[in-house]
Amino acid sequence: MRQSVISDNLHRIQQRLTGTAARLVAVTKTHPVERLREAYEAGARIFGENRVQEMAAKQPELPTDVEWHLIGHLQTNKVKYIAPFVHTIQSIDSLKLLLEVERQAAKHNRVIKGLLQFHIADEETKTGLTLAEAEEILQSAEFRSLQHVRLAGVMGIATNTPNEDQLRREFRQLRGYFDKLKALYFAEDESFREISMGMSSDYELALREGSTLIRVGSAIFGSR
């Protein structure tokens, strides 16, 4: 897409977020570094990538005030490649992964934020935790010992459907998980506050259901 189109798209979405507490994650996967620079010039500061190698290759090419969010499944053996710079891992789906993030972040003397990814879609392929699995993690002694990874909220990917009732139901479910975990485990913890939900086709709906982080790719950069 032409630069003016990218900045127009970004500004339209930023405009929509004015007056809300929500922020935009510009999802840049598959797009070349020049497009990321254009988005940066137009004001984007949070970039989302779903693959470790791609994110690690792009990161040195962008200014250091970019917040890099990993939004795709993360294998424990790949945490080390992003630990020096990643701001938030939105796809935390096991205690094992949390423990490895702790280990790698400690090596770099950093604190990495994490979001618990929940399964909310009615599609088998979309991964994520159940509420029971998340609570098992949060109740474990190992979780309480973590010092270099801080849970900052929840993330979910809704079903790929135009059915607004279903989308609303799934977003409400994620919001319900957030509220429950907040009350039970993070009532005193101000940094647990993010609900990452909503993509190009459904971010309006997600915002109305309380999203604090929308993850938007194709509505900014065009189709992949």
Ligand X SMILES: *Cc1c(COP(=O)(O)O)cnc(C)c1O
Considering the rule CB under 6 A, would residue 22 count as an interface residue with ligand X? no
State the nearest-atom distance from the C-beta of 107 to ligand X, in Å. 27
Considering the rule CB under 6 A, would residue 157 count as an interface residue with ligand X? yes
Considering the rule CB under 6 A, would residue 216 count as an interface residue with ligand X? yes
Considering the rule CB under 6 A, would residue 160 count as an interface residue with ligand X? no
- What tokens were used for 40? 């940066």
Count of residues near ligand X by CB under 6 A: 14
Residue of 26, 52, 56, 71 that binds ligand X (CB under 6 A): 71
State the nearest-atom distance from the C-beta of 109 to ligand X, in Å. 29
Q: Cα(156)–Cα(126) distance, rounded to whole angstroms?
A: 9
Question: According to DSSP H, which parts of the chain are helical?
Answer: 3-17, 33-41, 52-58, 79-82, 95-107, 131-138, 141-144, 164-185, 203-208, 218-221
* Start-to-end CA span in the chain (Å): 11
Q: Burial letters for 107-122: b for 16+ Cβ neighbours within 10 Å, e otherwise? A: eeeeebbbbbbbbbbe
Q: Which stretch binds ligand X (CB under 6 A): 92-100, 172-180, 181-189, 193-201?
A: 193-201
Residue of 7, 50, 211, 212 that binds ligand X (CB under 6 A): 50
Which residues of this chain interact with ligand X, rule CB under 6 A? Answer: 27, 29, 50, 71-72, 157, 199-201, 215-219
